[in-house]
Amino acid sequence: MSKDASKEQPARILIVDDHELVRHGLAQLLSDEPDLETCGEAEDVDGAIKQVEETNPDLVVVDISLKNGNGLELIKRIKTNHPNVKTLVSSMHDESLFAERVLHAGAMGFINKQQAMETVIDAIRQVLAGHVYLSPDMTDRLVHGIVDGQGKPGTSPVNRLSDRELQVFEMIGQGLSTREVANQLHLSIKTIETHREHIKDKMSLKNAAELSRHAVQWVLENA
């Protein structure tokens, strides 16, 4: 009896997104599925970690850009401290840039927020079943990269950035100063300045003005 009852328990989903409307929309969507339920919501990394510890979800659906912090950072922390909790990224960011990054961080899939709602539910169920979920185009690209012996780098110089450098690049594009970036990431100003120099080198940018201009343009294109 108890074994049958446990089989009928819906999977517990934690929703992490800095937009309240998105969180509520996904929660409403999940409420219509008998095998899925929302166990909590959060808008930033610290809130999400607290919810993971308190609610013990089966799956965390997380965006890349959060109110405070970054989805990649959150995925890595969950993978390290709660290895049994699966993660799925749902974001408006470019899948071709972030899919491999989120998989390397420990997530089991990436879905664009523009996908139809039934596709989101399908992605959630696939990840819960232990499968990796990516769009057919991205799956094909990764498979061809493996067949060719190594991944094919993207055409954008942004692809050369490390996860932390990409995070700093995005924050620069959001208009944050070096000090503000350092405060939010809990790093020294010197460390952020080093990241800025590495970004400029990897993207062949001549000065701070070019860095800011490219960062702002990238954020606008990926908003």
Question: How far is C-alpha 22 from the chain's CA centre?
Answer: 15
CATH class given for the domain over 2-145: alpha beta
What is the C-alpha radius of gyration for the chain, rounded to an integer number of angstroms? 18
Model confidence over 36-81: pLDDT tens digits?
999 999 999 999 999 999 999 999 999 998 888 889 999 999 999 9
Q: What fold, for 157-221? A: Arc Repressor Mutant, subunit A (1.10.10)
Measured between alpha carbons, how far is 97 from 219 in angstroms, rounded to an integer? 13
Measured between alpha carbons, how far is 59 from 39 in angstroms, rounded to an integer? 10
Check residue 155 and give its pLDDT: 56
118 or 43, greater pLDDT: 43
CB 39 within 8 A of CB 55: yes
Measured between alpha carbons, how far is 6 from 95 in angstroms, rounded to an integer? 36
The residue extents of the domains of the chain are: 2-145, 157-221
- Residue 105 burial (CB count, 10 A): 21
CB 29 within 8 A of CB 121: yes
Check residue 143 and give its pLDDT: 63
Across 7-16, 110-119, 139-148, 214-223, the highest mean pLDDT is recorded for 7-16
Which band of pLDDT confidence, cut at 50, 70 and 90, is reported for residue 5? Answer: very low
* pLDDT for 198 beyond 50: yes
Model confidence over 86-116: pLDDT tens digits?
999 998 887 777 888 899 899 999 998 887 7
Average pLDDT for the chain: 86
Check residue 142 and give its pLDDT: 67
Listing DSSP states for 69-102 in one string gives SBHHHHHHHHHHH-TTSEEEEEESS-HHHHHHHH
- Model pTM score: 0.75
Measured between alpha carbons, how far is 185 from 175 in angstroms, rounded to an integer? 15
Check residue 148 and give its pLDDT: 54
Query: Above pLDDT 70, what percent of the chain?
Result: 89
Model confidence over 141-185: pLDDT tens digits?
766 555 555 544 455 788 889 889 998 998 898 888 999 999 988
